[in-house]
Amino acid sequence: MAEGEDDEHIFQPMMFLEPQETSIDMKALLVKKVKKTCSCTPAKVKDLIFSFLPVLQWIPKYKLREYILGDIMSGVIVGILLVPQSIAYSLLAGQEPIYGLYTSFFASIIYFLFGTSRHISVGIFGVLCLMVGQVVDREVQRAGYDIEPSVHSGLQREMVIYVNTTTLAVNQTSQLLLCDRSCYAIIVGATVTFIAGVYQVAMGFFQVGFVSVYLSDSLLGGFVTGASFTILTSQVKYLLGLNIPRSNGIGSLITTWINIFKNIHKTNICDLITSFLCLLVLIPTKELNEHFKSRLKAPIPIELVVVVAATLASHFGKLKENYGSSVAGHIPTGFLPPQPPKWDLIPNVAIDAVAIAIIGFAITVSLSEMFAKKHGYTVKANQEMYAIGFCNIIPSFFHCFTTSAALAKTLVKESTGCRTQISGVLTALVILLVLLLIAPLFYSLQKCVLGVITIVNLRGALRKFRDLPKMWHLSKVDTVIWLVTMAASALLSTEIGLLIGVCFSMLCVILRTQRPEAPLLGWVVDSEIYESLSAYKNLKTKPGIVVFRFEAPLYYINKECFKSTLYKRTGVNPAWVKAAKKKAAKRMLKEKMVNSGGSQADITVQLVTEPLVFHTLVIDCCAIQF
């Protein structure tokens, strides 16, 4: 290349790339979007059906020889575990035992059709049962019923439903007179479940699955632990055989404990001894199941063993007749006729259903994504909301209450060889067998046994306290969020606790961006990695160069923090330097007027006696997203 061409190339003006300006025709874009959405082709209809019913996608690809054994084993084992838990959690939701079995049966079948996770177990979840039970107790009291169910309400309920479904000329007043506490309780539970399901389906339709990101792991963990204290407190009366109403509203946990100690002298010794013996068997066996889960092909179904043994002991020992022990009562076989939700109750429970819907889908989506990541497949958050929504809407017509995924049963399902949701169908078949044949045999089962089963299953949530030191070391802010949410959920109420947790989390986010970490950086030897000088040892700095990083987005709230921290870290405040120069200039002018010009040189020398320790300032903007 010629020398002239070289010079021309060197001194050519620098060119900058600019984004190409494109005019967007909003009308054409809207028309295109509408055409794409409203077009109906066979391929699009097929894709729509397959995306709405994911079972149609994976069932033809089912590897029978490879998957069936694990699915059968996991389905049967989870079904065996789910039977006593379904009966126990019915008490927590303020319902008769049969409704818990209905709920677990329908949830397993419907999630098999609509869900995208291969491993999660959908059914009764203790926290949601507590929230539903609080709504049920409030509405039952408002309607004038006793807050506690009677022992014979199961038989009365069958008579009520028979009369209401066979007598056409009965008026509303007669129906209210015939409908006892148990009948009205499941109407309330089904109605709030229906509305929660509608909310979840609506969130899926409008694709607002991103809402779950506002419920952090620390927030959900604190909420579940706080609610677990309330659940434990609500079950203590069954362990002691006390007949006291469940407290609702703000401070219900404290009120319940006050009522328990006021009535402690009425403790039923038979129930107390039974509770102690059940705890003595359940807790060690559960611990053994967890400790040796890698060696055991399947966990020991100790809950079912305890339920069967306790039922036989109660029946042959006539504990109800001889000692006044409270029992489950009559549990009918088969299914009841479908019944729509009570539409005029919707305004009363619509607000309560919001928190129930959010917690239900947040737990389900988080568990789905966790197990999908572990096993190398993907789930669709919006489809999961559809699935859990339909698991609430459809069963609400069949005397069921709210469901979601549950961690403990999902872990059992995974560890026993589950490969697909075929295992959920097997679980439903086990529950169906109980519904059709075995349910009446649980008549003599003591309620204290069900209370013990519920409390023992809270161990996982209550163990989170052991993780607090580790959590504090990893993130102090997340630990404080956990503690605040837990305390508010336990001491105030579950709904208020959730709201406080969300608001406090958002406040923490604002505060963290308002005063973020802003360290000086040094480089790791033999690399191009820069890290905080205050966090790591043996970092190197380059003479005359200061590297500063602001670890947050930069906006109007933290702009002053950015400037003040930068000045503090570098030891240079431009405003002070400017003011000092002004002051020196004034002094110099004054000296000039009094003395000779030599004074100016002296002042100038005095100003530059402390030179800057750096000549270049580098601001690392990798964390500044806006």
Average pLDDT (73-80) is 89
Please check the confidence at residue 211 and state whether its pLDDT lies above 60. yes
Paired tokens of 473: 């070391």
Q: Which amino acid is at 445?
A: L
Of 168 and 470, the one with more pLDDT: 470
pLDDT of residue 149: 54
Q: Which residue has the higher pLDDT, 522 or 347?
A: 347
Residue with tokens 């949410």: 485
What integer pLDDT is reported at residue 157 of this predicted model? 43
Whole-number pLDDT of residue 164: 42
Of 2-16, 452-466, 483-497, least confident by mean pLDDT is 2-16
Look at 266 and 582; give whichever has higher pLDDT.
266
- Residue 348 in 3-state DSSP? helix
* pLDDT of res. 588: 77
Nearest to 391 by CA among 416, 439, 356: 356
pLDDT band at 262 (very low <50, low <70, confident <90, very high): very high
The pLDDT of residue 442 is above 90: no
What does the pLDDT look like over 177-201, one tens digit per residue? 467 788 899 999 999 999 999 999 9
Q: Which region among 23-27, 458-462, 467-471, 507-511 has the lowest average model confidence (pLDDT)?
A: 23-27
Ranking 139-143, 489-493, 523-527 by mean pLDDT, the lowest is 523-527
Q: Pick the most confident of 83-92, 230-239, 392-401, 586-595.
A: 392-401
CA 19 to mean position of chain CA atoms: 43
Specify whether the CB–CB gap between 101 and 445 falls below 8 A.
no
pLDDT at res. 605:
46
Q: Where is average pLDDT lowest: 14-18, 114-118, 153-157, 288-292?
A: 153-157
Residue 538 confidence (pLDDT): 78
Quick one: pLDDT band at residue 158, thresholds 50, 70, 90? very low
pLDDT digit string, tens, across residues 17-63: 555 555 556 677 777 767 766 677 777 777 788 888 899 989 999 88
Of 8-12, 247-251, 497-501, highest mean pLDDT: 497-501
Distance, CA of 368 to CA of 380 (rounded, Å): 9
CB 149 within 8 A of CB 182: yes
Q: What local confidence, expressed as pLDDT, does residue 156 receive?
A: 43
Higher local confidence (pLDDT), 217 or 263 = 263
**pLDDT tens across 515-553, in order?**
777 788 887 877 777 888 877 887 878 888 888 888 777
Predicted confidence band at 152 (pLDDT cuts at 50, 70, 90)?
very low
pLDDT cut 90: percent of the chain above it: 26
Distance (Å, whole) CA 41 – CA 22: 32
CB contact set of 70 (below 8 Å; sequence gap of 6+) = 416, 417, 418, 419, 423
- The bridge status of strand 545-549 relative to strand 520-523 is antiparallel
Strand 616-620 and strand 545-549: the pairing is parallel
Where does the pLDDT of residue 173 fall: very low under 50, low under 70, confident under 90, or very high at 90 and above?
Answer: very low
Q: Which residue has the higher pLDDT, 60 or 556?
A: 60
| 313 vs 2, more confident | 313
Checking if the pLDDT of 302 tops 90, the result is no
**Distance separating alpha carbons of residues 147 and 246, to the nearest angstrom:** 7
Query: What pLDDT is recorded for position 178?
Result: 60
- pLDDT, position 20: 56
pLDDT band at 425 (very low <50, low <70, confident <90, very high): very high
| Highest-pLDDT range among 87-91, 142-146, 321-325, 484-488 | 484-488
Q: Which of 146, 135, 138, 137 is nearest to 191 (CA)?
A: 135
pLDDT cut 70: percent of the chain above it: 86
Name the helix (H) or strand (E) containing 97.
Answer: helix 97-114
Give the full edge-to-edge strand order of the sheet including 530-532: 530-532, 520-523, 545-549, 616-620
With beta carbons less than 8 A apart as the criterion, state whether 425 and 105 touch.
no
User: Does residue 160 contact residue 177 with C-beta atoms inside 8 Å?
Assistant: no
Per-residue pLDDT of 587-609, as tens digits, reads 777 777 666 554 444 545 454 44
DSSP per residue over 111-142, as a string? Answer: HHHH---SS--EE--HHHHHHHHHHHHHHHHH
* Cα–Cα dist 312/305, whole Å: 11
Q: What is the mean pLDDT of the chain?
A: 82
Measured distance CA(135)–CA(131) in Å, rounded: 7
> What is the average pLDDT across 218-244?
89
Neighbouring C-beta atoms of residue 64, cutoff 10 Å:
9
The two structure tokens encoding residue 328:
């489950």
568/554 Cα distance (integer angstroms): 18
- Give the residue-averaged pLDDT of 411-436: 90
- E strand or H helix at 319: helix 319-323
Would you say residue 297 has pLDDT above 90? no
pLDDT recorded at residue 72: 92
Q: What is the pLDDT of residue 189?
A: 94
* Residue 210: DSSP 8-state: G
- pLDDT at 169 (0 to 100): 37
- pLDDT for residue 146: 66
More confident of the two residues 101 and 562 = 101
76-90, 171-185, 555-569: range with highest mean pLDDT: 76-90
- Residue written as token pair 């003591």: 446
